[in-house]
């Protein structure tokens, strides 16, 4: 890889983007394709034929021999099946390279082999992938060569969504329809589309791959199931924004190059708070494109790390005792002519359209807090939420001093007459410039925070697709907009009706607003008094998917059917049970085959030392104390290991679904935590040479 990088030439070079389409497609075909992309019109099969031919020629020039429908099933990963461009050989033995419009538009993976929650059985295998032409195709280069990747949705033979993309596109349609309906009432007749825009900040850990391969827990589960804290963790705050180490800088450079080639606008990179933790953030993109790009980011991080002898850990809590990893989903609504509907302006109290949109969002989050919490439910997030800069499990909205003051005026008097100003920041140093401050501070403990002209949902886990949370945000906001429009469209006096509606929504949903410390015990009690749900685990969050309220919401806007929601709940329960079962079995395996034998060797050596010392000197006394302590901890370890084996066996015998998942949560997860305690204490006693795996210090600081 060259040291000199021309980003302008590099960016998007492997993407079949608008520039490439303009160059390679006939003008009429280009215009017709854009009608599908921009206006949602049905794609003409003849247009698809021309696009497919141009796309194939472009990809072959890039070295591609195969294409794949790249999709996002409910596994948490992307999926792909590669087909070559080669057709049947000619009589003279030569071959043709072809790619038809039908092959571009439709693929047929086996639907029963992916999680379906009962929507597909083994004897009902057919499923389809359908081209998402609003997210550009790209050529991915790796050790397997160059592959043309076509972003697609994935549905069953009977039309149910089996992926993350399909409901996301449905929700985008819903919020666009209702947002356009709303701004038309305010006199906007020029905007043709309103698109949810998303910027996703991605956190991750990087460790040395040699150490990773010596940790079975990391290999099997993505997190350390055992591990004592090193003498130094993140206490000094010296890693955050610190100088990036050379090996990590080299890694980040290659990641950026690969992402830029794929049209992912990787912009920000830095060290995060925990040792070995880092962050990458791209520029905003259309919601479904942002979701696709985030999947590309995660895959690229893992691929480049492995090439360089590193390992990227995307688990939400790979190390106990230090910060976990999430991804911050920055969401806003933008028109096709560049208007951000969440831009408050310099005088928010006078921006009536903004105030209505703001209070609609407060209403949406308040009514559907359980759904928003479920959209970030993940096994790993159960370990992360509630501390170390991750938001608590209680959903609340941070507005900041300026907007909270406007809201208070609306509630108390019915009219907002002023907006707080940010003032000037004075450093006290003559050579440093004074400058205008923002009108509002930030709150890193808030799960849903207004940050200037967008809402930042900080709860999403680092491994998760952002599609799920954006499906919820788009749909609940669409509902709030629709209900506001129903009132305003019937009003005799529009201005008075808007005024009354803003005050009503502000008053009724003020309880969801909280600007304070989300980690405090006082907030837990206050949230309970306000009636806000505190859903602390994934298992307890899943039922929100299938409440009557959720079914009515998603059905009304054609985002999910009742069977689709029920299937996703089943998949979530099954996924939780399988994840905890794997963790429990990994703990049993590691403790039985590695840790206990290592401790026994250590105890045997100590006993030999005691026996070899004829006179009771200091060495013998120390050895006796250590021998007693290690023996007692080993006995506790064996006891807790036996208990974990028992409850894991019971859990496996439970009927699959909510009952089994709840048992894993209430019994197996707690048994795992109890086993870890004596093992981590033993790690502090046993010789490092005897301990069977790299320590936290090795993992976090040897990169």
pLDDT tens, residue by residue, 45-59: 899 999 999 999 999
What mean pLDDT is reported for the chain?
Answer: 91
**Percent helix / strand / coil, the chain, rounded to 5:** 50, 15, 35
Sketch the domain layout of the chain as residue ranges. Answer: 7-162, 172-223+238-418+445-560, 575-701
Q: Phi and psi at residue 190, in whole multiples of 5°?
A: -100, -35
**pLDDT > 90 in the chain, percent:** 74
CATH of domain 7-162: 3.10.20.70
Mean pLDDT for 109-130 is 83
- CA-based nearest residue to 637, from 685, 682, 684: 682
Mean pLDDT for 683-703 is 94
The yes-or-no verdict on residue 641 having pLDDT over 90 is yes
Confidence (pTM): 0.94
d(CA 653, CA 605): 41
pLDDT tens, residue by residue, 75-84: 989 999 999 9
pLDDT tens, residue by residue, 581-597: 999 999 999 999 999 99
Between 303 and 240, name the one with better pLDDT. 303
Mean pLDDT for 267-286 is 94
pLDDT bin (cut points 50, 70, 90) of residue 38 is confident
What pLDDT score does 581 carry? 98
The correct answer on CATH 3.30.590.10 for the domain covering 172-223+238-418+445-560 is: yes
7-162 and 575-701: same fold?
Answer: no
d(CA 31, CA 11): 24
Both tokens of 260, joined, read 């830029």
d(CA 583, CA 578): 9
The yes-or-no verdict on residue 343 having pLDDT over 70 is yes
**pLDDT > 70 in the chain, percent:** 94
- CA-based nearest residue to 131, from 43, 259, 29: 43
CATH of domain 575-701: 1.20.120.1560
The yes-or-no verdict on residue 579 having pLDDT over 70 is yes
Residue 79's DSSP bridge partners are 71
What pLDDT score does 328 carry? 94
What pLDDT score does 424 carry? 65
Angle at 519 between CA 518 and CA 523, to 5 degrees: 60
Please state the separation of Cα 28 from the chain's center in Å: 39
d(CA 163, CA 168): 9
The yes-or-no verdict on residue 1 having pLDDT over 50 is no
pLDDT tens, residue by residue, 10-26: 999 999 999 999 999 99
Residue 269's DSSP bridge partners are 280
What pLDDT score does 429 carry? 67
Mean pLDDT for 213-221 is 97
The yes-or-no verdict on residue 349 having pLDDT over 80 is no
Q: What is the DSSP string of 235-296?
A: TT--STTPPPPHHHHHHHHHHHHHHHHTT--EEEEEE-SSTTEEEEEE--EEHHHHHHHHHH
What pLDDT score does 606 carry? 83
The yes-or-no verdict on residue 116 having pLDDT over 70 is yes
What pLDDT score does 50 carry? 95
pLDDT tens, residue by residue, 293-304: 999 999 999 999
pLDDT bin (cut points 50, 70, 90) of residue 40 is confident
């Amino acid at each position: 890889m060259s040291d000199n990088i021309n980003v302008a030439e590099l960016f998007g070079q492997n993407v079949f983007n608008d520039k490439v389409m303009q160059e390679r497609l006939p003008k009429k075909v280009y215009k017709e394709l854009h009608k599908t992309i921009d206006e949602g019109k049905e794609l003409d099969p003849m247009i698809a034929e021309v696009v497919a031919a141009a796309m194939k020629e472009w990809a072959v020039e890039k070295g591609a021999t195969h294409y794949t429908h790249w999709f996002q099933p409910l596994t948490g990963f992307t999926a792909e099946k590669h087909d070559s461009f080669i057709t049947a050989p000619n009589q003279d033995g030569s071959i043709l390279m072809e790619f038809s419009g039908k092959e571009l538009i439709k693929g047929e993976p086996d639907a029963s082999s992916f999680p379906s929650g009962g929507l597909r059985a083994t004897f009902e295998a057919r499923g389809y992938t359908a081209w998402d032409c609003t997210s550009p195709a790209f050529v991915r280069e790796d050790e397997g060569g160059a592959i043309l990747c076509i972003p697609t949705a994935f549905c069953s033979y009977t039309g149910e969504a089996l992926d993350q993309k399909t409901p996301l596109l449905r929700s985008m349609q819903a919020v666009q329809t209702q947002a356009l309906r709303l701004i038309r009432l305010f006199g906007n007749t020029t905007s043709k589309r309103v698109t949810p825009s998303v910027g996703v900040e991605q956190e991750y850990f990087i460790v040395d791959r040699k150490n990773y391969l010596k940790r079975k827990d990391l290999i099997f589960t993505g997190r350390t199931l055992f591990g004592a804290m090193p003498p130094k963790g993140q206490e000094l705050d010296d890693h955050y924004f610190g100088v990036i180490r050379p090996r990590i800088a080299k890694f980040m450079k290659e990641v950026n190059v690969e992402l830029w080639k794929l049209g992912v606008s990787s912009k920000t990179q830095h060290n995060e708070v925990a040792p070995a933790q880092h962050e990458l953030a791209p520029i905003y993109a259309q919601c479904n494109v942002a979701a696709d790009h985030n999947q590309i980011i995660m895959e690229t991080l893992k691929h480049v790390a492995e090439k360089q002898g590193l390992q990227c850990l995307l688990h939400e809590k790979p190390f106990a005792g230090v910060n976990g990893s999430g991804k911050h989903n920055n969401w806003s609504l933008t028109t096709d002519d560049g208007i951000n509907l969440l831009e408050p302006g310099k005088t928010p109290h006078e921006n009536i359209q903004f105030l209505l949109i703001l209070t609609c969002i407060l209403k949406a989050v308040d009514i559907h807090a359980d759904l928003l919490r479920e959209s970030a439910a993940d096994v790993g997030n159960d370990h992360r939420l509630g501390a170390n800069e991750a938001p608590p499990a209680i959903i609340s909205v941070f507005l900041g001093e300026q907007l909270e003051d406007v809201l208070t005026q609306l509630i108390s008097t019915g009219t907002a007459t002023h907006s707080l100003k940010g003032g000037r920041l004075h450093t006290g140093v003559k050579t440093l410039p004074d400058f205008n401050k923002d009108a509002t501070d930030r709150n890193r403990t808030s799960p849903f925070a207004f940050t200037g002209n967008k809402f930042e949902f900080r709860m999403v886990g680092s491994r998760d697709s952002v599609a799920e949370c954006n499906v919820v945000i788009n749909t609940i906001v669409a509902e709030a907009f629709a209900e506001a429009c129903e009132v305003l469209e019937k009003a005799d006096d529009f201005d008075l009706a808007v005024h009354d509606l803003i005050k009503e929504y502000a008053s009724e949903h003020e309880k969801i607003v909280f600007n304070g410390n989300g980690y405090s015990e006082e907030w837990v009690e206050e949230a309970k008094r306000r009636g806000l749900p505190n859903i602390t685990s994934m298992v307890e969050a899943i039922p929100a998917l299938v409440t009557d309220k959720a079914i009515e919401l998603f059905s009304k806007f054609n985002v999910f059917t009742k069977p689709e929601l029920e299937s996703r709940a089943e998949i979530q329960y099954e996924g939780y049970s399988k994840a905890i079962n794997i963790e429990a079995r990994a703990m049993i395996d590691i403790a039985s085959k590695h840790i206990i034998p290592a401790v026994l060797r250590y105890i045997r050596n100590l006993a030999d030392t005691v026996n070899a010392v004829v006179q009771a000197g200091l060495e013998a006394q120390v050895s006796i104390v250590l021998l007693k302590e290690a023996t007692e901890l080993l006995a506790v370890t064996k006891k807790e290991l036996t208990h974990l084996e028992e409850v894991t066996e019971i859990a496996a015998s439970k009927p699959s679904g909510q009952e089994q998942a709840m048992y894993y949560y209430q019994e197996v997860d707690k048994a795992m935590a109890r086993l870890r305690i004596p093992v981590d204490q033993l790690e502090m006693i046993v010789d490092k040479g005897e301990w069977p795996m790299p320590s936290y210090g090795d993992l976090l600081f040897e990169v």
